[in-house]
Amino acid sequence: MRATINGVELAYADHGQGTPVVLVHAFPLSREMWEPQLDALSPYCRVIAVDLRGHGESAPVRGKLSLDDFADDVVGVLDYLKLPRAIFVGLSMGGYTLFALHRRHRRRIKALVLADTRAQADTAEGREARFAMIRTAEEKGQGAIAEIMLPRLVTPHSLQHRPDLTQRLRAIIERNPVATIVADLRAMAERPDSVSLLGEMEHPTLVIVGELDQGTPPADATTMAEGIRGARLTIIPNAGHLSNLEAPAAFNAAVLEFVNGLR
């Protein structure tokens, strides 16, 4: 499905009925990463997965982007579908987008699932690493970014023994234009720190993290869960950064239990 939101054509999937659950994808991926969740959750709720601008089947990016742009686009899809509020699930960059959404559109939030993400801004070294990746993308293309990102997205076990998963991720990454990858990296490098926001967040919140996530480890998840009043923390065993793909059954069960508990 497609809609023109904030002057940009965005692609999205919309399955099921009932409570809206909006899925916001990670860098440098697309809504394709949520396929196991669309299948598992849609019998119980209305699941909407958006391709952020420039990603997947959405229109290409033009110029600089921010996480605020992504947040406004996600809420624009809600407006288009005439949905006043939703449960938002964001993984990694999707989680950063949800912090921006909370700043700008908190009345649209029914509840939050913050998965394999963190509230802290990048350190100086982290920002420099993103700018180094920008140079790699511009000089060597999407394939080089896939080589860098795959070991960060999944565990060594998946890299060695799940070629179906790694090949699928590589294909998603390589379908995103270099301009999109560059815009994402700049947006993440420039995002504000959200630790001070945690104490203001009063919506029901579930924090999920893969036990073996190296990029946003369980310690970062614990910071969010302890900082947000009443938040719950689920650590998924033997999963890395893309816990929704490495352990979809455990991820889906955690989200469904959370959603059902809101009724």
User: Is residue 6 predicted with pLDDT exceeding 90?
Assistant: yes
pLDDT band at 46 (very low <50, low <70, confident <90, very high): very high
pLDDT value of residue 78: 98
Average pLDDT over residues 93-102: 98
Q: In this structure, which amino acid lies at residue 153?
A: L
pLDDT value of residue 63: 84
Encode pLDDT of 168-195 as tens digits: 999 999 999 999 999 999 999 999 999 9
In a domain, 155, yes or no: no
pLDDT band at 61 (very low <50, low <70, confident <90, very high): confident
- SS3 state of residue 112: strand
CA distance 38 to 21: 10
In a domain, 63, yes or no: yes
User: Is residue 263 predicted with pLDDT exceeding 90?
Assistant: no
In a domain, 113, yes or no: yes
Domain with residue 110: its CATH number is 3.40.50.1820
State the residue range of the domain holding 231: 2-121+193-261
In a domain, 127, yes or no: no
63 vs 209, higher pLDDT: 209
The number of distinct structural domains making up the chain is: 1
The number of beta carbons lying within 10 Å of the beta carbon of residue 23 is 27
pLDDT value of residue 122: 98
In a domain, 153, yes or no: no
User: Is residue 62 predicted with pLDDT exceeding 90?
Assistant: no
CA distance 72 to 68: 6
In a domain, 49, yes or no: yes
In a domain, 150, yes or no: no
In a domain, 140, yes or no: no
Over the chain, what is the mean pLDDT? 97
pLDDT value of residue 160: 97
**Paired strand residues for 14:** 48
Encode pLDDT of 192-214 as tens digits: 999 999 999 999 999 999 999 99
Our CA angle for 54, 57, 59, nearest 5°, is 45
Structure tokens at 89: 């699930």
